[in-house]
Amino acid sequence: MHTVAAEDLAYNTLKEKIVRAQLKPGTRLVHRKLAKELGMSPIPVVLALRLLERDGLVVNMPGMGAYVRTWNREEIIDLYRIRASQEALAARLCAERASRVDLAAILDAKEAYEMTLAQEDFEDIVQADTEFHMSVVRGAHSAYLETMICNLSLINLSIHMVHYFLQKPKPTFSSKPIWIHTHIVNALKKKNADAAAEAAKEHIEAALKLNLELFDQVAQSS
C-alpha cells in the first residue's frame, strides 16, 4: 500500500544513499529492486525517483530508465556560478532587510559552524555550513529566492559529498579558507550590501575551487 510516509521514507533514504555515494553516479535505479530492498511496494519508490529527478539528483533516460545523475566539470562550474549570483543577491538583500532577530540567528549559525569545524567531522561541517548560508538567505526575506537557493544548494551539496566519499584518502577541510564566514557576517553587521554580496560571491567561488579539486582528484584515481 502506498502512503505518504512510505514515499517520504523512500525519498529520504535514496537521497542519502546518493549523497553519500552509496549509489554512485551512473548507477541504474530499478524501482522494483529498490522497493524490495526498502521493504515497500514499488509505487512510493517510483514517486520518490520522480522527486529526486526534480531535485536534479536523478536523470530519467527514455527507454533506459532512471540513473543517478553524473555531473561533468563544465556543469559543476555552471551550477556554482549560478549559485554564486543567487547567494550574492541573498546577502545583499539580507544586509538591507535583516532584523535583529535575523542577525542573531546568523551569528548563532556562524558560532555553531565554528564549533563543528573544530571537531573535523566532514558531514557535520557541511550541514552546519549549509545552515549558515540558509540563515543568510532567510534574512533576505525573499521566498522565491529562498526556494531557488535551497534547490540548487541540494545539488551542490550532493556533488560535494559524493566527491568527498569517493576520494581516498579523505581530505582535511578545517584549514580551508572556504569555510570562513567572517567577511559575510561583518558586512551584514554594517548593513553594507555591496560588501555582503561580494563576500558571499567570493565564498561560493572558493567552494567551487575546492569542489573542482575533489572532482579532479577523484577523476585521476578512477
Which of 27, 46, 68 is a domain's end point?
68
Mark residue 60 as left, alpha or beta (left: phi above 0; alpha: psi -120 to 50; beta: remaining): beta
Nearest to 130, CA basis, from 96, 153, 98, 162: 153
Cβ contacts of 44 within 8 Å, gap of 6 or more: 2, 3, 6, 7, 9, 10, 35
Statement to judge: residues 58 and 85 lie in one domain: no
Average pLDDT over residues 180-194: 94
pLDDT number for residue 219: 82
Going by C-alpha positions, the residue among 195, 134, 203, 185 that lies closest to residue 211 is 203
Same domain? For 99 and 201 the reply is yes
| Lowest-confidence region among 11-15, 45-49, 158-162 | 158-162
Query: In 3D, which of 59, 57, 73 has the Cα closest to residue 18?
Result: 57
Question: What range does the domain containing 193 cover?
Answer: 73-221
What CATH number corresponds to the domain at position 152?
A: 1.20.120.530
Mark whether 117 and 77 lie in a shared domain: yes
pTM of the shown model = 0.86
Cα dist from 46 to 21, 60, 64, 84, 167, whole Å: 20, 11, 15, 33, 30
- Residue 171: pLDDT band with limits 50, 70, 90: low
Q: Which of 19, 46, 68 is the last residue of a domain?
A: 68
Cβ atoms of 52 and 15 closer than 8 Å: yes
Mean pLDDT to the nearest integer, 179-186: 86
Residue 90 and residue 198 in one domain: yes
Q: What is the mean pLDDT of the segment spanning 112-133? A: 86
Q: Of the given ranges (21-35, 160-174, 179-193), which has the lowest mean pLDDT?
A: 160-174
Are residues 50 and 18 part of one domain? yes
Mean pLDDT (whole number) for 3-13? 90
Q: Would you place residue 153 in the very low, low, confident or very high pLDDT band (cuts 50, 70, 90)? A: confident
In angstroms, the CA 18 to CA 162 distance is 7
Per-residue confidence (pLDDT) for residue 102, from 0 to 100 = 98
Q: Which of 119, 117, 120, 123 shows the shortest CA–CA distance to 179?
A: 117
On the 0-12 / 13-18 / 19+ scale of CB atoms within 10 A, 169 is: exposed
**Mean pLDDT within 180-197:** 95
CB within 8 Å of 56: residues ≥ 6 apart? 69, 151, 154, 155
Q: Which regions of 10-56 does DSSP assign to beta strands (E)?
A: 28-29
Based on the fold, state whether residues 46 and 140 are members of the same structural domain.
no
Mean pLDDT over the full length of the chain = 90
138 with 193, same domain: the answer is: yes
**Domain CATH number, residue 44:** 1.10.10.10
Are 62 and 146 contained in the same domain?
no
User: Over the stretch 52-98, which tens digit does the pLDDT of each residue have?
Assistant: 999 999 999 888 899 999 999 999 999 999 999 999 999 999 999 99
Instruction: State residue 49's pLDDT score.
Output: 96
Residue 175 has pLDDT above 60, yes or no: no
Q: How far apart, in whole angstroms, are the C-alpha atoms of residue 158 and residue 16?
A: 9
Same domain, 26 and 126: no
- How many distinct structural domains can be found in the chain? 2
pLDDT reported for residue 47? 95
Mean pLDDT of 101-122: 90
Select from 44, 68, 92 the last residue of a domain: 68
Residue 222 pLDDT level (bands cut at 50, 70, 90): low
Q: Do 9 and 111 lie in a common domain?
A: no
- Examine the pLDDT at 137 and tell me if it is beyond 80: yes
User: Are 122 and 109 found together in one domain?
Assistant: yes
Tell whether 42 and 109 lie within a shared domain.
no
pLDDT at site 37: 95
